[in-house]
């Protein structure tokens, strides 16, 4: 009962027309097929293997919670174990975007998911950012394109409908993004927004604290600034890692081409259908499909026609793949460049804040040096005055010796001794002060 309530809170609201796929994950459908073919969830539970809860979002925007073990997920997405380990919430890994043969592994802050050409699989979490990612992805997938086009004029609608007609025959429009790129865009947007909000909160907290520190240097304020700087360094490191990951993808065309999953899937399907058509052509000519074709028994015309068809089909597929790969790289590059600008702006904010903290520290050090210099000057004056006062002790020691001189019989001799000693002390003190100023040991 508790698990059901937890799943109800976790699942975002779905349209009324959506199929309740969540229930279908626990029981077979009318045709006897499960959402994950070849996976027996009840058998896994009975065997006691470690199941992990995932949120699945398909291309139509429908979501469901499924429980899959690690090995089933590896077979389904064709991923090695080290890639799934990047998504483990028990370990802390830096931000990573990996393009594989059938999936894109995304680890961006709280968003840890696997993106394929048909679905997005997220680790089930109670984090609000994960739920926001699911809701935003569903909103973008379920929002009708026609609803946006209706208010833009008939001419623009006609041009865009012609482009969508071309897309159905393999021509990629600049306005079109495949499913995996849309899911990746939402993940990048969520990560960049999360990091930017944290940078903004840090700025709001930092500037008043630094201004207070410059006006009043205390142990409490210094400790608060030290904690603030530690948070700033940690956040800067995370932002820098996301920025480096996006920049690395933009610099490598091969990695970007590897991430275009929809195109690779369509090429595999077209190649499969092409092979089937070629096998049908062989069967029409009376050739055996199951047995190997002997080059001696095959007619020369059939072999030449088969060879020409194979060469033409391979050239056509290579030309289509090269053109579409170039266009997809441009699309993905523009997508990554947009969020690279956003994350670079966040990094510039943090860099400016760090420079402000460094300037504040330099200002505080200058203030402390100034106070230290004033203390040294005061100590120098105090030492000079102590030396002058010591002269009176020397004179008293001389006149305190036990010997007789005529000056002891004069009643005004004591007064003259004090006056002369005081004048000599003042002259010596002034001479020392002049010397200090002359050598610039004291301000003029």
Q: What's the pLDDT tens digit per position in 17-27?
A: 333 333 433 33
**Domain-embedded: residue 386:** yes
C-beta neighbour count of 60 within 10 angstroms = 14
Residue 114 lies in a domain: no
Rounded to an integer, what is the distance from CA 302 to the centroid of its chain? 58
In a domain, 407, yes or no: yes
Structure-token pair, residue 68:
């899959």
Beta bridge partners of 119: 58
Task: Identify whether 358 is part of a domain.
Answer: no
Structural domain contains residue 185: no
pLDDT of residue 150 exceeding 70: no
pLDDT digits (tens, 9 = 90+) for 283-300: 444 444 444 444 444 445
CA–CA separation, 210 and 324 (whole Å)? 53
- pLDDT (average), residues 302-325: 52
Sheet holding 111-115, edge to edge: 63-69, 51-58, 119-123, 111-115, 104-108, 96-99
Average pLDDT, the chain: 74
Residue 280 is predicted with a pLDDT of: 54
Domain assignment present for residue 145? The answer is no
Task: Yes or no: say if 350 and 239 are a contact pair by the CB < 8 Å rule.
Answer: yes
pLDDT, residue 168, reads 36
Spatial distance between the Cα atoms of 87 and 238, rounded to a whole number of angstroms: 16
Tell me, yes or no, whether 400 lies in a domain.
yes
Range of the domain at 402: 370-439
Which residues are CB-neighbours of 179 under 8 A, at least 6 positions away?
59, 117, 118, 141, 262
Asked if 440 contacts 373 with a C-beta cutoff of 8 angstroms, the reply is no
**Residue 425 lies inside a defined structural domain of this protein:** yes
pLDDT-based confidence at 241, cuts 50/70/90?
A: very high
User: Domains in the chain: how many in total?
Assistant: 1
* Global pTM value: 0.64
């Amino acid at each position: 009962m508790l698990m059901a309530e937890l799943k109800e809170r976790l699942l975002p609201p779905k349209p009324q027309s959506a199929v309740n796929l969540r229930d279908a994950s626990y029981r077979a459908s009318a045709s006897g097929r499960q959402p994950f073919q070849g996976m027996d969830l009840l058998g896994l539970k009975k065997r006691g293997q470690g199941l992990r809860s995932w949120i699945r979002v398909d291309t139509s925007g429908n979501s469901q919670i499924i429980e899959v073990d690690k090995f089933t997920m590896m077979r389904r997405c064709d991923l090695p174990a080290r890639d799934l380990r990047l998504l483990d919430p028990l370990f802390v890994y830096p931000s990573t975007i990996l393009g594989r043969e059938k999936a894109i592994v995304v680890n961006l802050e709280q968003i840890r998911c696997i993106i394929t050409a048909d679905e997005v699989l997220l680790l089930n979490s109670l984090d609000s950012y994960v739920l926001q990612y699911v809701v935003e992805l569903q909103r973008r997938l379920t929002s009708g394109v026609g609803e946006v086009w209706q208010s833009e004029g008939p001419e623009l609608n006609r041009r865009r409908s012609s482009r969508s007609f071309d897309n159905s025959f393999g021509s990629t429009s600049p306005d079109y993004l495949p499913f995996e790129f849309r899911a990746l865009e939402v993940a990048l947007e969520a990560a960049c927004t999360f990091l930017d909000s944290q940078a903004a909160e840090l700025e709001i907290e930092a500037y008043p604290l630094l201004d207070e520190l410059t006006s009043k240097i205390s142990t409490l304020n210094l400790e608060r600034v030290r904690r603030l700087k530690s948070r700033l360094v940690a956040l800067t490191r995370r932002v820098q890692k996301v920025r480096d990951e996006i920049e690395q993808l933009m610099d490598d065309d091969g990695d970007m081409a590897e991430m275009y999953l929809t195109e690779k899937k369509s090429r595999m399907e077209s190649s499969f259908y092409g092979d089937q058509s070629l096998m049908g052509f062989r069967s029409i000519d009376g050739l055996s499909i199951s047995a190997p074709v002997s080059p001696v028994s095959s007619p020369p015309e059939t072999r030449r026609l088969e060879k020409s068809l194979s060469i033409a089909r391979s050239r056509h597929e290579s030309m289509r793949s090269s053109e579409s790969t170039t266009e997809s790289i441009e699309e993905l590059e523009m997508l990554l460049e947009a969020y690279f600008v956003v994350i670079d702006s966040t990094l510039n904010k943090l860099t400016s804040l760090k420079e402000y903290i460094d300037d504040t520290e330099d200002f505080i050090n200058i203030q402390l040096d100034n106070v230290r210099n004033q203390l040294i000057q005061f100590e120098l004056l105090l030492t000079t005055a102590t030396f002058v006062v010591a002269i009176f002790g020397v004179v008293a020691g001389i006149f305190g010796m036990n010997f007789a001189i005529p000056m002891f019989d004069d009643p005004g001799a004591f007064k003259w001794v004090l006056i002369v000693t005081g004048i000599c002390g003042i002259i010596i003190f002034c001479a020392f002060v002049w010397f200090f100023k002359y050598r610039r040991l004291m301000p003029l």
